[in-house]
Structure 1
Amino acid sequence: MKKTLFYLFATILVLIWLMPFVISAFTSLKSMDELMLEKKWWFPPKEIRLENYSTAWDDANMGRYFINTFIITVPSVLGALFLSSLGAFALAWYDFRFSKVVLMVFVGGMLIPFQMLLIPVYRLSISMGIYDRYLGVILFHMAFQLGFCTFFLRNFMKTIPASIFDAAMIDGANHFMIYRRIVLPLVIPAMAALGILEFTWIWNDYLWSLILIQSDKFKPVTLGLVNLQGQWISSWNVMAAGSIIAAVVPLVVFLLFQRYFIEGLTVGSVKG
C-alpha cells in the first residue's frame, strides 16, 4: 500500500512538472486563430501546424544564434571546470594559511544575489574593452560559476584516500603530475555531472547575455527568441516553437551523458 501511494504521488508530481512543457508543445503546433479563439488553451491542437518551427528557425535566425551559443557555452564550461579543478585540488590537499578563508570566499560568492552585480559587471566589461564580445560573456560565466564548481569538486576530492598521494610523492611525482595523472581520472564522474549542470545553466542564460551583448551577431539563442516578439502582437505559437528548439540541445546533452551524471552524484556516497 505504501509503495502504491508513493508511486501514485510521484507520478502526479511528474505530471505537474511536465505540464508547462506539454502546454508549450501544444502551443507550438497551433495556429494563432486557434490560440485566440479557443478558451481551453491547454488542449491538444485541432490541426497540427509544423510550419511554426520553420518560421521560428527562419525569422529568428536561429542557426546563427545556435552557433553563438555554442561559442559561448563550450569554452565557459571547459574553462570553469579546469580552473575549479585546480582550485579544488589546492583546497582539498594543501594545508596552507588562510585556506579556510579562501574556501569561505568561494562559498560566499555563491550567496551574493547576482542582481547586485549587474551594474558593476556592465561597467567593468566596458572599462576592460570586452563589452559586446564573446570573450566578455565567456569570462564572466567562468568567473561566476567558479565558486560553485570549486566547492563541488573540493568535496569529491576529499573522499580520495590520502595514501594515494603519499605513494605518488614517494615515487617522485610532482604536484602537477599528481593532479593530472591521479586526481583528474578519479574525479571524471564528478566533473561530468558538473559539466552537464554548467552546460545547461550557461546555455539557458538570458540575463548576463542581455547585459553584456548588444550586437545581434553575438547574441545567443535565448536573446534571439526575443526577435519573435512583435511590436503589437506576439506570435505565441512561433515563440513556443523557438523555445522548444532552444531546449532540444541541453535535453539531448543530458540524455547522452545521464549515466555519467548519476555516477557523479553518487561518487563518494559509500566508503570502502
Structure 2
Amino acid sequence: MASRVRRKLSTRTATVASILIGVVWTIPTFGLFISSWRPEEEIKTNGWWKAFGDPALTLDNYQQVVFGTSGASGRLASYFVNSVVISVPAVLFSVCLAAMAAYALSWVDFRGRDWIFIGVFVLQIVPLQVALIPLLQLLGPAIGWGGGFFAAWVAHTCFGLPFGVFLLHNFMSEVPKTISESVRIDGGTHATTFRRIVIPLVAPALASLTIFQFLWIWNDLLVALVFTSGPNTRPLTVRLAELAGTRGNEWQRLTSGAFVSMVIPLVVFLTLQRYFVRGLLTGGVKG
C-alpha cells in the first residue's frame, strides 16, 4: 500500500496540482507580507501588487506596532512575550499528560480502561464554548486563580487533553506488546518502557501533536478573553482583535501586526515539519 500511494503522489499531475495549490494558498500570505512593508499612503490608495512597479518600503509599520508607546500603536512586544509564556508551558503540559494517559490506556491493563477511553473520545465532541464558563466557575473558587497565566495554562491543558490522548493512543496501540514483555523479563517497569521504548517510537506523533497544540493555543482568542485579563497577561490575539476593532482603518498596522503574530508559528512548523509528515504517513499508511 505504501508503494502504491507513493506512486500516485509522485505522478506529474499530482506534482502540478500540488504546486498550484501551494501557490494559491501562499498568495494571501505573500500579499500580507508585502503590505506590511508599504507606507500608509500607499497601502490605503492601491493594491499590494502595485509595489512591484513602484516599490516604496518602510520599517515604520513594524516599529510603531511592536515598539510604539502611544495608545494608537500596537505595543505588541509585551503581548508577544505573553503569548510565548502562555503557549510554551500549555503545550508542554498538554503533550506530556496526553502521552502518559495514552500509554496507560493502551499498555496498562486495568478495570474500566475501555470506558475511560470512550469518555475521552466523547469529550472531543463537547464544544469549547459550552465548557468555558463552567470550567471557570468550577475551578476558580477552588484554587483561587485570577485572570493570569496559570488560569490559561490549566484551561488550554484541559481543552487539549482529549484530542491529544486520542491521537497518541492510536499510535501507541499499534506498537507490538511483545516489546513490553521483553522489558519486563529484563526487570524493567512501565516507566522504563514508556521512557525508553514507546516515546522514541511515537516521536513523529508527538511532534504532530505539538504542532497542532501550539498553533491552536497561539492563535486562540476565546480562551484568552475568558481566562486572562489586562495587558500584563493577555496574548497577541487579544491585542490584534482590539486593533481591528478600534483602529480598523489603520491597515498598515493591522498587516504588520498580523505578520508579527505569524512568525513564531511559521518557525515551529518549519522546524518540525519533517516529523509532522512522518507522523501523518505513519498513521495513514500501513504495510
TM-score (norm 1): 0.89
Gaps of 5+ in 2: 1-9, 69-73
Aligned length: 268
Q: Report which stretch shifted further, 243-252 or 256-265.
A: 256-265
Larger CA deviation: 184-193 vs 104-113? 184-193
The alignment-based identity, stated in percent, is: 32
- 1:80 alignment partner, one of 94, 100, 103: 94
Is this contact kept in 2: 1:72–1:137, CA < 8 A?
A: yes
8 A Cα contact 1:84 1:153, kept in partner: yes
**Does residue 9 in structure 1 map to residue 23 in structure 2?**
no
- State the Cα distance separating 1:4 from its structure 2 match: 4.6
Matches within 5 A, 1:47-58: 47-58=56-67
Aligned to 1:155: 170
C-alpha distance in structure 2 between counterparts of 1:74 and 1:15, whole Å: 31
**Are residue 121 (structure 1) and residue 135 (structure 2) matched?**
yes
The aligned counterpart of 2:200 is 185
Partner residue in 2 for 1:132: 147
CA gap 1:231/1:89 in 2 versus in 1, 3 angstroms: closer
* 1:206–1:223 Cα contact (<8 Å) kept: yes
Query: d(CA) in 1 for partners of 2:148 and 2:247?
Result: 31
Match of 1:69 among 60, 67, 83: 83
Secondary structure of the corresponding residue to residue 217 of structure 1: coil
Alpha-carbon distance in 2 for matches of 1:137, 1:124? 15
Q: Structure 1 residues 186, 231: CA separation in 2 closer, same or farther (over 3 Å shift)?
A: closer
4+ residue stretches of structure 1 with deviation over 6 A? none
Distance 1:6 1:165, change over 3 A: closer
Q: Secondary structure at the match of 2:124?
A: helix
Q: Any conservation in 2 of the 1:92–1:158 contact (CA below 8 Å)? A: yes
User: How is 1:87-102 mapped onto 2 (pairs within 5 angstroms)?
Assistant: 87-102=101-116
Q: Could you tell me the TM-score, scaled by structure 2's length? A: 0.85
Q: Which position in structure 2 is the counterpart of 1:235?
A: 250
Q: Residue 267 of structure 1 aligns to a residue in which SS?
A: helix
Q: Letter of the aligned partner of 1:255 in structure 2?
A: L
CA distance in 1, matches of 2:245, 2:216: 27
How far 1:191 sits from its partner (Å)? 1.0
For residues 225 and 135 of structure 1, do their structure 2 counterparts lie closer, same or farther at Cα, with a shift above 3 Å needed? same
8 Å contact 2:128–2:159 — kept in the other structure? Answer: no
| Cα RMSD after superposing both structures | 2.2
Unaligned runs of 5+ in 1: none
1:43 to 37, 42, 49: 49
Q: Cα 1:43–1:176, aligned 2, differ >3 Å: closer, same or farther?
A: same
Could you tell me how far 1:29 is from its partner in structure 2?
2.3
Q: Indicate the residue corresponding to 1:196 in structure 2.
A: 211
User: Residues 236 and 126 from structure 1, CA distance in 2 versus in 1: closer, same or farther, beyond 3 angstroms?
Assistant: farther
1:191-246 deviation digits (Å, cap 9, x = unpaired): 12211221121111111101111111111121222453474653111111011011
Q: Does the 8 A contact of 2:121 with 2:162 survive in 1?
A: yes
Q: 2: distance between equivalents of 1:144 and 1:176? A: 26
Q: Distance in 1 between matches of 2:205 and 2:245?
A: 43
Q: Whole-Å Cα distance in 1 between the matches of residues 26 and 210 of structure 2?
A: 24
Distance 1:12 1:120, change over 3 A: same
Q: Secondary structure at the match of 1:111?
A: coil
